[in-house]
Structure 1
Amino acid sequence: MKVLNKENFYDEINKDKLVVVDFWAEWCMPCHMLAPVLEKLEKEFKDVEFAKLNTDENPEIAMQYGIFSIPTVLMFYKGEIVNSFVGAMPESVVRREIEKALEKVKNEGN
């Protein structure tokens, strides 16, 4: 998973593909539970970019997107949020949310 910060965040989320961003912090136990799920799905969804942003190190970005609970996952396409969820979800739920976002992206292109 690509590590995001204020230098590269906006370039990454404005890509012409789905970008799944995990907003997390080192002290957050649910974040540590979600990370391996996202890493596994990253191998499965080859045309989706997976990235993470440490909210303690980048509070201005977290505030801009209204991140108050972590983990929060925002899914971007061309800079726009197309889906999101909050909390450590089971793999099946995370997969379904990514598939929903991909469907929105595909429909936008038609």
Structure 2
Amino acid sequence: ADWCPDCRFVEPFLPEFEANYPEFTFYYVDRDKFIDTCAEWDIFGIPSFLVFKEGNEISRFVSKDRKTKEEIEQFLTDSLNK
């Protein structure tokens, strides 16, 4: 969401994540514009990261806490091995 300071905090890292993890396709979903979708996927803390493989969720990093660059990188690395 545009108003979310934690979302704004991770935003500068997103191009680097996309470049360093080409195995993933990244999508940005504005929670305020797609609240029903977020509720369907039990996403209430933002920013959140979900990983899907062949249409199935295999990993999630969802919490109300600010996520560091290192935590997100670890999550993505761990998700590669699932």
| TM category, shorter | 0.7 to 0.9
2:8 corresponds to 1:32: yes
2:72 corresponds to 1:94: yes
2:62 corresponds to 1:62: no
CA distance, structure 1, for counterparts of residue 76 and residue 3 of structure 2: 25
CA distance, structure 1, for counterparts of residue 43 and residue 56 of structure 2: 16
Partner of 1:42: 18
> For residues 8-19 of structure 1, what are the structure 2 equivalents within 5 Å?
none
Using the aligned pairs only, state the percent identity. Answer: 24
- Aligned structure 1 segments of 4 or more residues deviating by more than 4 angstroms: none
CA distance, structure 1, for counterparts of residue 38 and residue 44 of structure 2: 8
CA distance, structure 1, for counterparts of residue 66 and residue 54 of structure 2: 25
Q: Which segments of 5 or more consecutive residues in structure 1 lack a partner in the other structure?
A: 1-24, 105-110
Higher relative contact order (CA 8 A, sep 6+): 1
Number of matched pairs: 80
Q: Which deviations, in whole Å up to 9, do the C-alpha atoms of 1:45-100 show, x marking residues without a partner?
A: 12211111011111110110111111111111122121111343222211111111
Q: TM-score, normalised by structure 2?
A: 0.85
Partner of 2:60: 84
Task: Looking at secondary structure, tell me which structure has more strand per residue.
Answer: 1
